Amino acid sequence: MQISKETVEHIAHLAKLELSQEEFSRAEQALTDIIGHAEILNSLSSKGSPTVSANEFICSRQNLLRLDTPGASTPKEHLLENAASHDNDYFIVPKTVD
């Protein structure tokens, strides 16, 4: 399936991209290739394959998270070594909100 020029323009607009003519052509071809691969996957038969929903897959897993056990902390001095700026035990960061 060929992606239309309008579709590429719409996607570029949504992504707030300003594409040169060369980039536009490459994006159009890349999107066409992606859709082509998806169509190939869609045409494959899945008969005989077990179906498992994402929820069943996730819920069937056990012990996905490690135990929350206290451990040794990294020394403050070591953490502050690479800080651009610090005051005793605190990082100094630029103000981001007025």
Output the CATH code of domain 5-43: 1.10.20
The full set of domain ranges for the chain reads: 5-43
Say how far apart CA 35 and CA 41 lie, in whole Å.
10
Q: Is 11 left (phi over 0), alpha (psi -120 to 50) or beta?
A: alpha
pTM exceeds 0.85:
no
Cβ neighbour number for residue 12 with a 10 Å cutoff: 15
What is the predicted pLDDT for the residue at 63?
66
DSSP, collapsed to helix, strand or coil, labels residue 50 as: coil
Say how far apart CA 28 and CA 19 lie, in whole Å.
11
Say how far apart CA 21 and CA 19 lie, in whole Å.
6
Q: For each of the chain's 98 residues, which pLDDT tens digit applies? A: 788 999 999 999 999 999 999 999 999 999 999 999 999 988 888 787 777 777 776 676 676 677 888 999 999 889 999 898 999 889 999 888 87
